[in-house]
Structure 1
Amino acid sequence: MNKHKLKALILMVGAIFMAFLMFNITSQAARMDMVDVSNNNGYMSTAEYTSMRNEFGVKTVTVKISEGGTYKDPYAASNIANVQAAGMYINGYHFARYATKAQAIAEADFAGQTAKSAGLPVGAVLATDVEAEEQNNQSKATNDVNNKAFMEEIQKFGYRADIYTSGSWANNKMTIKGKTGWIAAYPYVVSGKNWYSTNHAWQWSSTAKFRISYGGFDVSQLNSNYYTADQKSTIKPTNKDAVKANNRKANKNTYKPAASAKWVKEAKTYTLKTAIKLRTGASTSSNTITILPAGTTVKTDQAIIQGDYRWVRQSRFNGYGYLATGPASNTLEYVKSGATHTYYTVKSGDSWWAIAQRNGLNMTTLASQNGKTIYTTIYPGQRLVVR
């Protein structure tokens, strides 16, 4: 074979190899198989769900049913009905607040009854969403016992059980076995790797956009048929080209790699809104020195963002202690600063949303900086920190 033909053959083989490689990478791109929605997304119409199915290839929707022992998602019933009308499989989840086995069973009973009332069909998944501070303060063994109790109880209502949690908590804060679990982990670059392939589902983004729906959504790839009950949808996407294009677009790098974490000076005084573990290092795997009760005043000298949390350092008589002030987004979820605040007095007819809008805040942030959640009832005459 002469050199020119050999060179041409090498180039052709190389091109075929690159095409195969690119196909492989594209084929491994995360899919938008499942969307989860809650009251945070507001009212979602059948048309919106139909668009998700036709243009993005969404197969199933998992809706929030309840939280803790008293909160019922006000949009659960309409979400369930409209997802079904759009021809997709429907599931539900409960945001867990339990810290004991008894609380887990009570919350499962509450979630099961609420799901029945909202119309969640028997046989659907009703997952426990385990990511709150209540579980962060427990041992892995305790969380395992509580999660098992919740799931056993929820099955009595005819629902299938599963656990949703973050990748950093899976098999750290609780056991997530293979062929179970719905795991959240948001990589900087989505394409090229199928994360958590041995689990039922991988939630790979919390900021996905849909054409006719407002805001960002949590989307997941299904790695098994558990969340569709091994059923094939009777209604297929009407625009396969759009599905491919939209999934490729969603896989584009929307996350910026975090810079190397560095300690910065921060001479502040915080008052704890809830009990928090004081640790020997800035990590949830570090040993616990003590548990500081709610109301404790903490003076800090440095702060850092790492490991999904914002940490502060407290000087002690024999060294330093470290505690998480909130998630890495830098919002002070667990503590409040000792700085001077601006207050707003609640008026008749006010809501978290209305007060937040009036003061240029996110309503979750507004509630958090007042030591509450957006589900806490507020009353006329009550004073809220807005600055």
Structure 2
Amino acid sequence: MKLKNKLLLTGVAIVATLFLGLNANAARMDMVDVSNNNGYMSTAEYVSMRNEFGVKAVTVKISEGGTYKDPYAASNIKNVQAAGMYINGYHFARYATKAQAIAEADFAGGTAKAAGLPVGAVLATDVESQEANNQSKATNDRNNSAFMKEIQKFGYRADIYTSGSWANNKMTIKGKTGWIAAYPYVVSGKNWYSTNHAWQWSSTAKFRISYGGFDVSQLNSNYYTAGMKSTVKPTNKAAVKANNRKANKNTFRPYASAKWVKETKTYTLKTAVKLRTGAATSSSVITILPAGDTVKTDRAIIQGGYRWVRQPRFNGYGYLVTGPANNTLEYVKSGATHTYYTVKSGDSWWTIAQRNGLSMTTLASQNGKTIYTTIYPGQRLVVQ
């Protein structure tokens, strides 16, 4: 989800052409979820979503783990309400134990209250983290149950958001519950997850006056509209019909010839960016890297509508977007930023690499050298 950001089906961009035409089962843009990744959203943007695209409800990110509060939660809630739409919230779960689940629920509930989320709204737990991936199904079920029970003490209704590949595998999602994310190759004629409350079918929806891609969901019950028949009516039904059809057709198409290229750089993020397990928006989110973080990369690729880079990590790799497929660096500060180390007498590739958490090979290559190149006191080396 938004960190909003989604484990779903694996592989390159598996969201592809959707041919739906006038099919009554075309995926609808009933609900949008937003977070800090979308930046500030004005009332006018939400009014446009409602009137031109038929959006009924918005679910905003409230918090993550036990300390992070989404800085845009309060303004999103206020502006959605001003636009006359249903409002809900979600918490990105990091809990691995029952005690942590209860603590996170208390944190999320308190944060939601302070941000102005009204009593009676849904406050869903977004379960897609590495912490949950490391747990058994029974443990995840216990933790999710504890979170949802605790969150109801704040007057909010509970639900679980997760991917289609995790539902009833990594955790139990009973019928007539759940908000499930799955981006199928072809949707034509099928109402996916019709027995669940909601189905998130795209993370790349475009709205006329809003920048970037958005997560959109079809509501299969009235749970996220406060259990009431919607009184929110779009003012331009012709535009809703046309925009809905366009959204269903214009999702990601795979880049057949995309190839990784070597890129040894360090970037500083100018906005929060999701770090994923693969170079696709359908890959699970490892964490959200905050603005100001520096990221060391070793590979880059143009794929799925974005420019992706690979970050070596202690247990493998992480992947993040630096900008759209036109190769611009919209999410990082212009140019690569570096930290330098001045070589001192007695230093070696090994001592400098160890001091800066690098391998000798990485240190040498990001300076255009090999580990057999002689270094001298006073020489400056890029270490970050």
Could you tell me the TM-score, scaled by structure 2's length? 0.65
SS in 2 for 1:26: coil
For 1:244, the aligned partner's letter is K
Q: 1:159 to 1:358 in 2, by over 3 A?
A: same
User: Pairwise mapping of residues 177-188 of structure 1 onto structure 2 (< 5 A)?
Assistant: 177-188=174-185
Q: Deviations over 1:239-268 (max 9, x none)?
A: 001001000000005233698xxxx9xxxx
Matched residue, 2:246:
249
Q: 1:354 to 1:54 in 2, by over 3 A?
A: closer
Q: Which structure would you say has the larger Rg?
A: 1
User: Pairwise mapping of residues 58-97 of structure 1 onto structure 2 (< 5 A)?
Assistant: 58-97=55-94
SS in 1 for 2:215: strand
Question: 2 CA distance for matches of 1:358 and 1:67?
Answer: 28
Question: 2 CA distance for matches of 1:334 and 1:129?
Answer: 26
**1:236, CA displacement in angstroms?**
1.2
Matched residue, 1:270:
none
**1:24, CA displacement in angstroms?**
9.0
For 2:108, the aligned partner's letter is A
SS in 2 for 1:63: strand
For 1:357, the aligned partner's letter is K
1:176 aligns with 2:173: yes
Q: Deviations over 1:250-302 (max 9, x none)?
A: 0005233698xxxx9xxxxxxxxxxxxxxxxxxx9xxxxxxxxxxxxxxxxxx
SS in 2 for 1:357: coil
Runs of 4+ in 1 over 6 A off after TM superposition: none
Question: 2 CA distance for matches of 1:337 and 1:137?
Answer: 14
1:335 aligns with 2:332: no
Could you tell me the TM-score, scaled by structure 1's length? 0.64
Q: Select 1:359's aligned residue among 335, 342, 346.
A: 335
**1:193, CA displacement in angstroms?**
1.2
Question: 2 CA distance for matches of 1:254 and 1:51?
Answer: 20
Question: 2 CA distance for matches of 1:140 and 1:113?
Answer: 28
Matched residue, 1:150:
147
Question: 2 CA distance for matches of 1:35 and 1:116?
Answer: 21
Q: What is the alpha-carbon root mean square deviation over aligned residues? A: 3.4
User: Pairwise mapping of residues 190-229 of structure 1 onto structure 2 (< 5 A)?
Assistant: 190-229=187-226
Q: Deviations over 1:357-387 (max 9, x none)?
A: 22369xxxxxxxx9xxxxxxxxxxxxx986x
Q: 1:338 to 1:174 in 2, by over 3 A?
A: closer
Q: Does the CA contact (< 8 Å) of 2:20 and 2:248 recur in 1? A: no
For 1:108, the aligned partner's letter is A
Q: 1:45 to 1:172 in 2, by over 3 A?
A: same
Larger RCO of the pair (alpha carbons < 8 Å, separation 6+): 2
**1:355, CA displacement in angstroms?**
8.9
For 1:359, the aligned partner's letter is G
**Structure 2: runs of 5 or more not aligned:** 1-18, 261-276, 285-302, 318-328, 338-356, 358-381
SS in 2 for 1:131: coil
For 1:229, the aligned partner's letter is A
Q: 1:238 to 1:151 in 2, by over 3 A?
A: same
User: Pairwise mapping of residues 110-129 of structure 1 onto structure 2 (< 5 A)?
Assistant: 110-129=107-126
Q: 1:60 to 1:136 in 2, by over 3 A?
A: same
Matched residue, 2:164:
167
Q: % of aligned pairs identical?
A: 80
1:40 aligns with 2:34: no
SS in 1 for 2:88: strand
Question: 1 CA distance for matches of 2:82 and 2:279?
Answer: 48
